[in-house]
Chain A
Amino acid sequence: AQSVTQPDARVTVSEGASLQLRCKYSSSVTPYLFWYVQYPRQGLQLLLKYYSGDPVVQGVNGFEAEFSKSNSSFHLRKASVHWSDSAVYFCAVSMGRIFFGDGTQLVVKP
Chain B
Amino acid sequence: EAAVTQSPRNKVAVTGGKVTLSCNQTNNHNNMYWYRQDTGHGLRLIHYSYGAGSTEKGDIPDGYKASRPSQENFSLILELATPSQTSVYFCASGDARQDTQYFGPGTRLLVL
Residues of A within 8 A of B (CB): 32, 34, 36, 41-46, 49, 90, 94, 97-98, 100-103
Given the contacts A90-B42, A100-B43, A46 and B90 also touching, CB distance less than 8 Å: no
Q: List 23 A-B contacts (CB under 8 A).
A: A41-B106, A43-B90, A43-B92, A43-B103, A43-B104, A43-B106, A44-B43, A44-B90, A44-B92, A44-B101, A44-B103, A46-B102, A49-B98, A49-B100, A90-B42, A90-B43, A97-B48, A98-B94, A98-B101, A100-B43, A101-B42, A102-B40, A103-B42
Chain B positions near chain A (C-beta within 8 angstroms):
4, 40-43, 45, 48, 90, 92, 94, 98-106
CB distance from A11 to the nearest CB of B (A): 16
Residues of chain B within 8 A of A97, CB atoms compared:
45, 48
Q: Which residue of the partner chain, among B42, B92, B102, B105, contacts A102 with CB atoms under 8 Å?
A: B42
Q: How far is the CA of A34 from the CA of B103 in the complex (A)?
A: 14
Rounded to whole Å, the gap between the CB of A82 and the closest CB of chain B is: 23
